[in-house]
């Protein structure tokens, strides 16, 4: 922790020392003083309170109330109903599988990019393509996969006509939870490339030279040096990918029009019908459950991220 905070402390110290030696003296040093200065913060504060703090609070707290405003644990206990637990289970499953596959494939691509010039055309193309594809999730991505592996899709027909393989022999799984796997992986890999590349390019050639000088092999380089250095960043990115899949709604909504197989779709059902499990404000309880998972995952991410920053620069 102290190491991670060091640069901040140093820059603070530097700042205060320049202030002290400022030639203009204390009277004119801070031209915006008192209330005026704080007034400048109000537009942002008001905006964030109205459209971030209040909605988040309503979303998280409304699960504890009935429509009449009476306090109840009913909705929150509803989270432990078997079918709701099952949706959380599927959400976990989809997020974990796509995060792991996305992280491994993304890390491979990052590895393949080592040794290319950071400002060269290949890297900047892959950077831009990754930012587009990481944002690509949603209705358009669903279209793309229906066109590719839908029941009349390009790949489906190709496999069937040329190789006699029917990928939907056991039913059309694209519009079920399993169908989300390839689709989510499509935006997970680019996100991994964006988040993991800085850590991987932070590996220094000198470390490999030191390893070679001390009689180490390629194997010891990767297991004793590169892996320990990269591990926090890798697992941090993995958690980010998990959170990304867990909170993703649009793609699933476009693919799965009926039912509530994962948590975001259950929230949709609760918002639209208002009576999931015969409970009011169930959407609030589900939102609370989701926020708890997200807070835990993102907390883990920031802890790992802090460890990562020790090795960069």
Partner 1 sequence: MSRPGASDNSVAVRMGTEPSRTVRWIILGVVGLVFCIPIVAMLLFSFKAGLAGGLTLDHWAGLFDEDAARTYRNLFTGIGNSLLLAVVTVGIVLVVLLPTMILVHLQFPKLQRTLEFICIIPITVPAIVLVVGLAPVYSIVVRIAGGSVWTLAFAYGITVLPYAYRAIQSNLDAVDVVTLSEAGRTLSANWGRILWFVLLPNLKRGVLAASFISVAVVLGEFTIASLLNRTNLQTALLQVSQSDPYVAVIFALLALAFAFILLISIGRIGRTRTGTSS
126-165: contacts with partner 1 (CB under 8 A)? 127-129, 131-133, 135-141, 143-145, 147-148, 152-155
Taking CB under 8 A as the criterion, the residue among 57, 83, 223, 312 binding partner 1 is 57
Of 4, 10, 32, 165, which one interacts with partner 1 (CB under 8 A)?
Answer: 32
Query: What is the closest distance, in whole angstroms, from the C-beta atom of residue 101 to partner 1 in the complex?
Result: 12
Q: CA-CA distance, 257 to 139, in Å (whole number)? A: 12
- Closer residue to partner 1, CB minimum distance, 15 or 166: 15
- Measured over the CA atoms of residue 172, residue 173, residue 175 and residue 179, the dihedral's sign is negative
To partner 1, the closest distance from the beta carbon of 120 in angstroms equals: 7
Contact pick of 2, 18, 170, 258 for partner 1 (by CB under 8 A): 18
**Residue partners of 265: CB distance under 8 A and separation at least 6:** 87, 249, 252, 253, 256, 259
Contacts with partner 1 by CB under 8 A: the residue count is 95
CA atoms within 13 A on the CB side of 196: 32
**Within positions 65 to 104, which residues make up the interface with partner 1, using CB under 8 A?**
none
Give the contact letters, 216-255, x = binds to partner 1 (CB under 8 A), - = no: --x--xx---x----------------x---xxxx--xx-
Rounded least distance, CB 38 to partner 1, Å: 9
Q: Is 41 an interacting residue with respect to partner 1 (CB under 8 A)?
A: yes
Report d(CA 224, CA 231) in Å as an integer: 11
Judged by beta carbon, residue 28 or residue 258, the one nearer partner 1 is 28
Cα(271)–Cα(262) distance, rounded to whole angstroms? 14
Among positions 98, 284, 304, 308, the unique one binding partner 1 when judged by CB under 8 A = 284
Q: Give the DSSP letter string of 189-219.
A: HHHHHHHHHHHHTT--HHHHHHHHHTT--HH
- In the complex with partner 1, the residue whose CB is nearer, 128 or 312, is 128
Asked if 172 touches partner 1 (CB under 8 A), the answer is no
Least Å distance, CB 21 to partner 1, is 12
Q: How many CA atoms lie within 13 A of 192 on its CB side?
A: 27
Q: 135 phi and psi, to 5 degrees?
A: -90, -5
Q: Is 166 left (phi over 0), alpha (psi -120 to 50) or beta?
A: beta
Alpha-carbon dihedral sign for residues 63, 64, 70, 72: positive
Q: Choose the binding region for partner 1 from 71-79, 89-97, 170-178, 260-268 (rule: CB under 8 A).
A: 260-268
For residue 287, the minimal CB distance to partner 1 (Å) is 4
Kindly state the smallest distance separating residue 140's Cβ from partner 1, in Å: 4
Binding mask 192-211 for partner 1 (x = CB under 8 A): -----------x-x--xx-x
Q: Closer CB to partner 1, residue 6 or residue 50?
A: 50
DSSP state of 88: H
Cβ neighbours for 97, distance < 8 A, ≥ 6 positions apart: 181
Site for partner 1 contains 291 (CB under 8 A): yes
Residue 65 φ then ψ, to 5°:
-125, 155
* Six-digit token string for 39: 């007034």
Considering only residues 106 through 125, tell me which ones interact with partner 1, judged by CB under 8 A. Answer: 108-109, 111-117, 119-120, 124
- Give just the sign of the alpha carbon dihedral 87, 176, 99, 294: negative
Q: How far is the CB of 297 from partner 1 (least distance, A)?
A: 8
């Amino acid at each position: 922790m102290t190491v991670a905070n060091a640069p901040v402390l140093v820059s603070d110290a530097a700042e205060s020392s320049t202030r002290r030696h400022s030639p203009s003296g204390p009277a004119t040093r801070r031209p915006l003083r008192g209330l005026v200065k704080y007034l400048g913060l109000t537009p942002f504060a008001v905006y964030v309170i109205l459209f971030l703090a209040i909605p988040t609070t309503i979303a998280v707290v409304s699960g504890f109330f009935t429509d009449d405003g009476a306090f109840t644990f009913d909705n929150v206990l509803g989270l432990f109903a078997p079918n709701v637990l099952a949706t959380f289970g599927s959400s976990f499953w989809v997020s974990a599988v796509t995060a792991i596959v996305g992280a491994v494939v993304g890390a491979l691509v990052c590895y393949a990019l080592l040794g290319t010039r950071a400002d060269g055309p290949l890297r900047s193309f892959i950077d831009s393509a990754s930012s587009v594809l990481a944002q690509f999730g949603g209705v358009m991505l669903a279209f793309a996969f229906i066109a590719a592996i839908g029941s009349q899709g390009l790949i489906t027909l190709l496999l069937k006509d040329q190789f006699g393989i029917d990928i939907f022999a056991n039913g059309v799984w694209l519009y079920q939870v399993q169908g989300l796997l390839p689709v989510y992986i499509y935006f997970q890999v680019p996100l991994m490339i964006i988040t993991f590349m800085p850590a991987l390019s932070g590996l220094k050639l000198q470390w490999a030279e030191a390893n070679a000088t001390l009689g180490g092999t390629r194997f010891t380089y990767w297991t004793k040096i590169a892996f320990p250095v990269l591990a926090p960043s890798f697992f941090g990115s993995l958690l980010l990918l998990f959170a990304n899949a867990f909170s993703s709604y649009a793609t699933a909504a476009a693919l799965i029009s009926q039912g509530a197989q994962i948590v975001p779709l259950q929230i949709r059902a609760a918002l639209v019908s208002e009576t999931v499990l015969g409970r009011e404000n169930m959407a609030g309880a589900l939102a609370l459950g989701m926020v708890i998972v997200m807070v835990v995952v993102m907390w883990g991410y920031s802890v790992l991220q802090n460890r990562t920053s020790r090795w960069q620069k």
